Every structure is written in C-alpha cells, then in structure tokens.
Amino acid sequence: MTQLHDLTALEQGELIATGKLSPVELTEHYLERIDRLNETVGAYVTVTGDIAREQARQAETDAAQARREERPLSPLFGVPVPVKDLNFVAGVRATLGSVAYAENVPAVDDHVVTRLRAAGTVLLGKTQTPEFGLPCYSENLVAPPARTPWDLERSAGGSSGGAGTAVASGLAPLAHGSDGGGSIRIPASVCGLFGIKPSRGRVASGPTFYDISGLSTSGPLARTVRDAAALLDVLSGSMPGEPYAAPSLAAGETFRGFADRDPGTLRVAVLTQAPVPGVEVHADCLAATESAAELLASLGHSVETLDLPADDTLRNVFGQVWAVMATQTPVAEEDESRLMPLTRHLRALGREVSGPDFAMALYAFRAVGLLVSQLMEAYDVILSPTLAQPPALVGGLRNDADPASEFDAIAAFTPFTPLYNATGQPSVNLPLHWTADGLPIGVMLGGRYGEESTLISLSAQLESARPWAARKPSLW
C-alpha cells in the first residue's frame, strides 16, 4: 500500500495544491517516522516539531485560500524540507556540528531559509553534519552519526550526511544540503539519491557566513531529478552583496521544466582515472561509470574516453584553502580544546598559510577553471565516478590519533568531487548502480558553468531509461 512518504515531493505538492492532501497530515506523518527512526539513522540533530506543525497549519489555511482565489502555489508549497545544521534558521539551534556551538541560537535566517519560507515549505528540523562541515562523513560529538539506510554499519557521507539519510530513509521527501568539496554529491552517492551542486553564484550564501573562496554552495538532495530541480528553483537567485552571480535562466524558464526536455545529442567525456596521484579507483566505482557510459551511448550520445594527467596541484592548493576556511568559524579560546582533532589540525594549518600563498591557491583555482572550460569546448559533459570507494564504514575514515593521515584518506576517498568546487561548475550525482551487496554507487556528471539545465535534462533522460526511485532500503 502506498504511504505518504512513497510520494515524490512534487506529487505531495500537487495533492496539497488541489486540496487532496493536508500539509498537517503530511507533516505529522514525517514527524512520526522521525520519532521512530531518527536514532537509528542519525538524520536530525534538532527536530523542530512545534515549528513544523505551526507552518503546516498555516500552509493548509493559505492553500485553501489560494484555491478559492484560483491562485497558483509554489510546486513545493506545504512540503517538508529540512535544513542542514551549518545554516541558520532564526530561533532554532544551529550547532555547526560542534560542541562549541551546541547552544548557539541565531537571530537571523540564512538566505536559503528565507527562500524556503517564501516557497511555503515546512521545516522538520536541522540535519546532521560534521564539525564545521570539514570532513566527508557526518560524525561529531553533538549527535549520533548519520548512517546510510542501505547498510547501517556504513556512513551516510558528508558533510550533508544527515540530509542524505533523511531523504533515503523516508524522513523527508527532499532536503537542503551544501557542497564545498563534494558535500552534496558524496551523501547522494552513498545514500542512492540524486544531488545537485549548482554553479557558483546560483544560490545566495549569506547573510552571516560568506565563503570567500567560492568553493561552497547550497543545493538539493532528492529521490528524483524533478524533485531536485524544483528545489533548485526555490533556492536559486542572487541577493544584494553577493560576490558571484550565475547566469539567469530565460524569462519564464525553470529548472523543473528542463527535466521534461530532451537533452539532444551530447558529447560526453568519460574520466575513470583519479586526477590525484596514487589513488586507485575501486572496481565497483569503475563498473558504475562504465555502465553509465554504455547507457549514454545507447541513448545516442557521443561518448569518448578522457585521460587527464594525475597532478597534485589541485589537491595541494585545495588543502591550503580548506585549512584557511576552517579558521573562519569563530571559536572562543577556551573552546578550542573541545574541537575534534581534524578540526584543530586544519585550523592550525590554516593559520600558517600566508596571505600570498592563499592568494596563489585561489589563483590556481581560476587557472584550473580556465583549463576545464577550454576542455569543455570539445565536450558538453564529463562523466566520472563520484567517489573512488564504496560507502565507508561509520568511523572508517576518522583517525583522531593522526588527523593529517585522516585528511589524506579523505582526499583519496573523494578525488573527483572537488574539481567542480574549484572551477565553480555545476555537477550532479546519479544513483544508477548498486553493488551485489546492495550498496549504492553513484556516478557524477559535470557541466559547463551556468548550465545546470543541461545536466538536469540529461539526468532526467537517464532516470527514465534506468529508474531508481522505486528501489528502497529495508527500513523504508
């Protein structure tokens, strides 16, 4: 029998708009599941039940008024959307994954939350993230670790791991995440979801924290391409003072609309060799990529192998910038010792990076972006593994005794994803492959700057050819 959480987010929104589903009923359904399953999967750090119920009641009233006035609503009106715990919701605890911020309650909304409110979505809570979003797993000292529901011994990835397992476990229909080095695409890969890292400047990042490196951006995690595209429509848009702005869609266009368009015949470059020296790509990740390449060819696309020389430059400069950015979260001197070993290690490294070295690292990002943009004059998209390994065990990447080695292990686990953070290009994870043991293995598509529309159209075509949303973990 179909349950409410079996419906896609857009199906839920349509039923709410037509009066066939109550936002209150939908919200209570998810709150009941969260109460029953959250301790198992570690999706939420803070559950905002009172806020969710109040917003759902208001959404029900507003939806009824809109029907009387024959006025259209946002496609996600009344649909629950949790927010990652790195972002601020006024009046709601924001721990940033750290005991140093365990009692932090901001007074303002981040811009993404302002947009979610304007679209009429319902806040179920704040989702799990590692301390300051630094590693690619979602484990901290604040709340239980985020686990992929496909194997509860394994991590849901990071840093949007709570968002990933919330959607994959049926504790939210879709979720807000953020991505500074793969933090949307990594959880999407290990949780069997579709995730979009938008182009730099597509989604406003303020008003409290600005990532001056340009690495990070917010974006959606969802079970379907259309749901993710609809949430990207909600999140997108510049704000005064933003340092970047991606090209706008033509008037009247939406990302959701591109999910219903044929992408045409595209030129696809296939990259299977990790662009980092000494990193071996697991056979399951290679198999997923090769299978996706065959599927693309069968759909009429031109598919060619791409060999890029392995080079330590991007890893080295990314490490410098990542360490500097780790210092940007204010921490009281008496709380520094309470931070996790990796956080303390990166903050110490960041304080040692000179101004000229930081400037040269950012310059290297721009140089890489130029090289990749020139490469993409010959190709429309690049296909690669999302990760170099299958989902890691909970605690499998942590090394509190040797955080330097931990950071190296993280780089080896995620050698493909940071490229698009450095260049600012859009990138998506597609859940097209599962191992013989039932673990999801994602593949990644990267596109030209500002062309999320192409990735969405192509992803929807692939989803139609090899549907994945009906595949669910046992706790579903």
Residue range 216-228, pLDDT digits in tens: 999 999 999 999 9
Phi/psi at 356 (nearest 5 deg)? -60, -40
User: Exposed, middle or buried: residue 29 (CB in 10 Å: 0-12, 13-18, 19+)?
Assistant: middle
123 touches 82 (CB < 8 A)? yes
Predicted confidence band at 313 (pLDDT cuts at 50, 70, 90)? Answer: confident
Q: Pick 389 or 314 by higher pLDDT.
A: 389
* 3-class secondary-structure state, position 360: helix
Mean pLDDT along residues 369-375: 90
Q: What is the pLDDT of residue 309?
A: 77
Among 82-91, 284-293, 359-368, 458-467, the range scoring the smallest mean pLDDT is 359-368
Q: What is the pLDDT of residue 92?
A: 98
Q: What is the pLDDT of residue 314?
A: 85
Question: What is the pLDDT of the chain when averaged over all its residues?
Answer: 97
- List the structure tokens of 199: 């182009």
For the chain, percent of residues with pLDDT exceeding 90: 93
Per-residue b or e along 405-425, where b marks 16 or more CB atoms closer than 10 Å to that residue's CB: ebbebbbbbbbbbbbbbbbbb
Q: What is the pLDDT of residue 241?
A: 84
pLDDT in tens, 229-260: 999 999 999 888 888 899 999 999 999 999 99
Instruction: Please enumerate in sequence order all residues whose Cβ is within 8 A of that of 120, keeping only pairs 6 or more positions apart, or say none.
Output: 59, 62, 73, 74, 76, 77, 78
Say how many C-beta atoms besides its own lie within 10 A of residue 174's C-beta: 29
Mean pLDDT along residues 380-404: 98
Amino acid at 243: P
Q: What is the pLDDT of residue 310?
A: 78
Mean pLDDT along residues 307-321: 88
Amino acid at 219: G
User: Exposed, middle or buried: residue 387 (CB in 10 Å: 0-12, 13-18, 19+)?
Assistant: buried
Residues catalogued as catalytic: 84, 159, 183
Q: Pick 1 or 372 by higher pLDDT.
A: 372
Q: What is the pLDDT of residue 158?
A: 97
For the chain, percent of residues with pLDDT exceeding 70: 100
Mean pLDDT along residues 396-425: 97
Largest CA distance in the chain: 63
Q: Is the pLDDT of residue 476 over 80?
A: yes
Q: What is the pLDDT of residue 243?
A: 87
pLDDT in tens, 51-101: 999 999 999 999 999 999 999 999 999 999 999 999 999 999 999 999 999
Q: What is the pLDDT of residue 242?
A: 85
pLDDT in tens, 279-289: 999 999 999 99
Q: Pick 307 or 398 by higher pLDDT.
A: 398
Predicted confidence band at 207 (pLDDT cuts at 50, 70, 90)? Answer: very high
Q: Report the distance separating Cα 428 and Cα 468, nearest Å.
A: 15
Asked whether the whole model's pTM tops 0.95, one would answer yes
pLDDT in tens, 143-202: 999 999 999 999 999 999 999 999 999 999 999 999 999 999 999 999 999 999 999 999
